[in-house]
Structure 1
Amino acid sequence: MQKFDVLIVGGGMVGLTLALAIRKQSELTVAVADTQTPDELTAQPEIRVSAINAASQQIFTRLDVWQDIIGQRAQAYQHMHIWDKAGYGKLDFNLDDVTGSAKPEQLGWIIENKVIRNALWQKAQMDEGISFFTDEAVASIGVGESEVFASFGSSMPITANLLVGADGANSWVRKQVNMPITFRDYDHHALVATVSCEQGYQDTAWQVFLPTGPLAFLPLYEKNLCSIVWSTSPEEAQRLRALDKAAFAKEITAATDGKLGRVSLESELGCYPLMMRLAQDFVKDKVVLIGDAAHTIHPLAGQGVNLGLLDAAALAQTLTGQVTAEQGATVSPDISDNLSNEIILKQFARWRKAEAAEMIAAMEAIKQLFTPQQEVTKLIRGIGMSLLDNFSPAKKHLIRQALGYKGQLPELAKYTG
């Protein structure tokens, strides 16, 4: 029977980042269990993408994987333009608005999920301290006094000192160990696709708030291609999916006020429901949840993946004994003791749950602000956006939040220039 220090169920972006971060800072052994092995990139971009902020870029850079990511397909943006379809309010964020020593080269990057995962997977396979279990899914979990047991059906079981669930929003690990969640249906579905924009995206990420929800245009690696995330009511999503390509192009072009020229559909139109989830606790016995297994938020600010990557960096820092004095935890001199130290694990849970709860509240406030309202409310909203756009201190604060420079950052995510 093989034994590991940490077993990670879920080999997506967050789980693989955790594995590499643990190995970067220690000699702990890691097992990654996931039957979905990476697929080769195709000529057409994947319709699921992530907006990677500066803090996440720092994590990937310190894990020596950033150059592998951007060496495939990635697109930076230096501007963000946000406007209200129902009013006249607008916000413009530019890289020039970022001042101080922590000024990155870009506001952010739009990268296909497959590109990020493939680069992380390849890097992890090169580490002799990381073992992959891909033939069979984990069939059962047993938590003992000193170990966690994981069985695979016909394969030999393995044991670990700690189990991490990084297996997504519908986490199997979370259900197996009965870790309850708080959830709320956003009553929105997200339409995702690749589109072509006649006037190109101009190094800008665009977002318009429509009466039914936000529509984002995220720049891809070709100058006229964008990935869209259109959050709208289930009924409107069904109607839009039923349109032919010509009719859809007409509607989405009108939705953008023609700011990107004529917009045409270049891929299938994916659709998935949106729900807020927050695990009531991120730690139970020798099991920890991170990423979407612990929390999901509305995609209107593109921060879901970044939140999960910070979970991974924070947990690796906690487990490897890199807890700083201001975090208020006493770290064992034997690094392996941290894997089952309830005080340290609970401290990690408080740290990351507070960040997740704050982000959930912020997304809810923005969503409510742009729900269909009376004309006087739209007027006040428009005035507020315009004032904010011209008030430098507040605007700079929002930009720093978008970059990920907020809260208590793990060491891997801190900007060093």
Structure 2
Amino acid sequence: MSIQGVVLLTSRREKMQKFDVLIVGAGMVGLTLALALRKNSQLKIAMVDTSAVPELDDTIDVRVSAINVASKNIFANLGVWSALENSRIQDYQHMHVWDKAGLGKLDFSAKDSATFPSEDNLGWIIENKVIRHALWQQAELDEGIHFFNGNKLASISQGDSEVFATFASEPSPDDRHGDSSPTAPIIAKLVVGADGANSWVRQQMNMAMIFKDYDHHAIVATVKCPQGHKNTAWQVFLPTGPLAFLPLNSGKQGTPLQGTADSANNLCSIVYSTAPEDAKRLTALDSIDFAKELTAASDGKLGDITLESERFTYPLTMRLAQDFVKDRVVLIGDAAHTIHPLAGQGVNLGLLDAAALAQTLTSTLDEHDENYPELVNASDLKAFSRWRKSEATEMITAMAGIKQAFAPQQSPVKLLRGVGMNVLNHFAPAKNRLIAQALGIKSDLPELAYQKDAL
């Protein structure tokens, strides 16, 4: 930043809106961070997002997340889980994984977990818009969180002790807590980029990124399975890539159907990862032929499938920021890393980022000093970056290994793969470790990721 720029910004300080933390991106991860920061401090938070949080309706979102136990604990500790339980949420107690090209299969059940025997579920499938809405409702109750929805930032500039952000346009009617004009520049001690895979913050700050094309496109849609999903997450590894059927709650908003076994319990969200040319072929099929392909691919285990929504497709790319921190700017969630969706861990990884950053920032604050002069500690932020980058790298490596293991192979390799899966299916210690990973139970979790009575 030039000296003239600093002088100009300094001369306008009296017109600026002052916050402790500016969070760019009011999605699931950004909102979780805001609530986590406020839980243990009086920090003043600004949240900027180009889109408003929509009201919920009875239309089921094709974008869903598999929430594990660690993420459930985060939501519970932030006072959000009860709202999710009273919304559209589908628990699942079982996972069935099989190899289309061989004879291997794996079956997981929550009751088999020796690591976490008190938990009845392996996870929960929740629409992204349902999660975001519940978080937003909780954040709306907090006067220390100020929303600038429907607004776009024009620039971010770092000074010695603060960060300056300017807006690109006039305020939107969606602005909330707008007790001062959202076009007035913002000054904050820290900026957090929680603005997704194509992060504007990351680009603005020239934070280096490692990319790798997975050579897969994902197709997502909602389908009906006449056999019922049976509170099970299903995944078949095809020669072209994995196809997952994630159980959905098919009730209307506000009428949860957790654990029910009635005939309405037959919707699934699919995530079909396949080669780009195959994705193009599949999305070009009419709905009947596409559903027939799904039925054949799943060996008819869920019955004759029908398509219930539009199909959406997007390329899959591994991204990893070389550093999650640059001076007074931090990246979390998809802004810092994206991974293959075959294990459904991307959102959980981002939620842990949010909980870890909140813990890093608030653990040493003096609760009697509302000015928080020492909010940003360079060594603490470096430790946070190492912690979360290590977790992301471990997950990226694991996903790459699984993807490679199920790539098209010669017959002898396919046979060994199938034998290995079947042996693992009956080897309790290794299987229990996999269940623990699916639950998100690890040794180095942020405090918010533990059960309340463990805090």
Change over 3 Å in CA distance of 1:167–1:268 after alignment to 2: same
Which one-letter code corresponds to 1:198 in the other structure?
P
Q: Distance in 1 between matches of 2:247 and 2:312?
A: 18
Q: Secondary structure at the match of 2:434?
A: helix
1:301 matched to 2:316? The reply is: no
Give the corresponding residue for 2:59: 44
- Given the alignment, which residue of 269, 282, 289 partners 2:324? 282
Task: Give the alignment's Cα RMSD to 1 decimal.
Answer: 1.6
Change over 3 Å in CA distance of 1:322–1:358 after alignment to 2: farther
Change over 3 Å in CA distance of 1:170–1:407 after alignment to 2: farther
For the 8 Å contact 1:10–1:33, the answer to whether it is kept is yes
Give the corresponding residue for 1:88: 103
- Given the alignment, which residue of 382, 393, 404 partners 1:357? 393
Q: Distance in 1 between matches of 2:448 and 2:364?
A: 11
Q: Secondary structure at the match of 2:102?
A: coil
Superposed, 1:189-200 pairs within 5 Å as 189-200=217-228
- Given the alignment, which residue of 126, 130, 153 partners 1:115? 130
1:314 matched to 2:342? The reply is: no
Task: Report the alpha carbon displacement of residue 415 of structure 1 after superposing the two structures with TM.
Answer: 3.2
Which one-letter code corresponds to 2:86 in the other structure?
G
Q: Distance in 2 between matches of 1:9 and 1:101?
A: 35
Change over 3 Å in CA distance of 1:386–1:279 after alignment to 2: same
Q: Distance in 2 between matches of 1:299 and 1:18?
A: 22
Q: Distance in 2 between matches of 1:110 and 1:314?
A: 23
Structure ID, larger Rg: 2
- Given the alignment, which residue of 188, 204, 209 partners 1:160? 188
Which one-letter code corresponds to 1:245 in the other structure?
S
For the 8 Å contact 1:321–1:332, the answer to whether it is kept is no
- Given the alignment, which residue of 176, 192, 206 partners 2:204? 176
1:224 matched to 2:260? The reply is: no
Q: Distance in 1 between matches of 2:391 and 2:373?
A: 26
For the 8 Å contact 1:5–1:162, the answer to whether it is kept is yes
1:144 matched to 2:159? The reply is: yes
Which one-letter code corresponds to 1:358 in the other structure?
E
Superposed, 1:207-356 pairs within 5 Å as 207-222=235-250, 223-321=265-363, 336-356=372-392
Which stretches in structure 1 are left out of the alignment for 5+ residues?
324-330
TM-score by length of 2: 0.88
Task: Report the alpha carbon displacement of residue 124 of structure 1 after superposing the two structures with TM.
Answer: 0.6
Give the corresponding residue for 1:15: 30
Which deviations, in whole Å up to 9, do the C-alpha atoms of 1:180-233 show, x marking residues without a partner? Answer: 100100000000000000100011000000000000000000311000000000
Which one-letter code corresponds to 1:208 in the other structure?
V
Q: Secondary structure at the match of 2:414?
A: helix
Q: Secondary structure at the match of 2:119?
A: coil
1:383 matched to 2:398? The reply is: no
Give the corresponding residue for 2:256: none
1:368 matched to 2:396? The reply is: no
> Which deviates the most, 359-368 or 136-145?
136-145
Q: Distance in 2 between matches of 1:129 and 1:373?
A: 56
For the 8 Å contact 1:338–1:344, the answer to whether it is kept is no
Which one-letter code corresponds to 2:145 in the other structure?
I
Number of residue equivalences: 410
Give the corresponding residue for 2:10: none
TM-score by length of 1: 0.96
- Given the alignment, which residue of 420, 428, 434 partners 1:392? 428
Change over 3 Å in CA distance of 1:81–1:338 after alignment to 2: farther
Give the corresponding residue for 1:327: none
Task: Report the alpha carbon displacement of residue 70 of structure 1 after superposing the two structures with TM.
Answer: 2.1
Change over 3 Å in CA distance of 1:135–1:380 after alignment to 2: closer
Task: Report the alpha carbon displacement of residue 321 of structure 1 after superposing the two structures with TM.
Answer: 1.3
Q: Secondary structure at the match of 2:153?
A: coil
> Which deviates the most, 75-84 or 133-142?
133-142
Give the corresponding residue for 2:20: 5
Which one-letter code corresponds to 1:385 in the other structure?
M
Q: Distance in 2 between matches of 1:267 and 1:125?
A: 31
Task: Report the alpha carbon displacement of residue 144 of structure 1 after superposing the two structures with TM.
Answer: 0.4
Q: Distance in 2 between matches of 1:18 and 1:318?
A: 12
Which deviations, in whole Å up to 9, do the C-alpha atoms of 1:278-317 show, x marking residues without a partner? Answer: 0000000100000000000000000000000000000000
Q: Distance in 2 between matches of 1:186 and 1:204?
A: 27
Q: Distance in 2 between matches of 1:332 and 1:28?
A: 10
Which one-letter code corresponds to 2:248 in the other structure?
L
Q: Distance in 2 between matches of 1:363 and 1:164?
A: 26
Which one-letter code corresponds to 1:393 in the other structure?
P
Which one-letter code corresponds to 1:139 in the other structure?
A
For the 8 Å contact 2:115–2:432, the answer to whether it is kept is no
Task: Report the alpha carbon displacement of residue 62 of structure 1 after superposing the two structures with TM.
Answer: 0.3
Which deviations, in whole Å up to 9, do the C-alpha atoms of 1:132-179 show, x marking residues without a partner? Answer: 112421111010001000101351101000000000000000000000
Task: Report the alpha carbon displacement of residue 44 of structure 1 after superposing the two structures with TM.
Answer: 2.5
Q: Secondary structure at the match of 1:192?
A: strand
Q: Distance in 2 between matches of 1:389 and 1:338?
A: 51
1:59 matched to 2:79? The reply is: no
Q: Distance in 2 between matches of 1:285 and 1:160?
A: 13
Q: Distance in 2 between matches of 1:257 and 1:364?
A: 26
Q: Distance in 1 between matches of 2:323 and 2:21?
A: 19
> Which deviates the most, 364-373 or 64-73?
64-73
Give the corresponding residue for 2:255: none
Task: Report the alpha carbon displacement of residue 42 of structure 1 after superposing the two structures with TM.
Answer: 3.0
Change over 3 Å in CA distance of 1:87–1:141 after alignment to 2: same
Task: Report the alpha carbon displacement of residue 72 of structure 1 after superposing the two structures with TM.
Answer: 1.3
Q: Distance in 2 between matches of 1:88 and 1:105?
A: 29
Which one-letter code corresponds to 1:2 in the other structure?
Q
For the 8 Å contact 2:77–2:452, the answer to whether it is kept is no
Give the corresponding residue for 1:31: 46
Give the corresponding residue for 1:126: 141
Q: Secondary structure at the match of 1:139?
A: strand
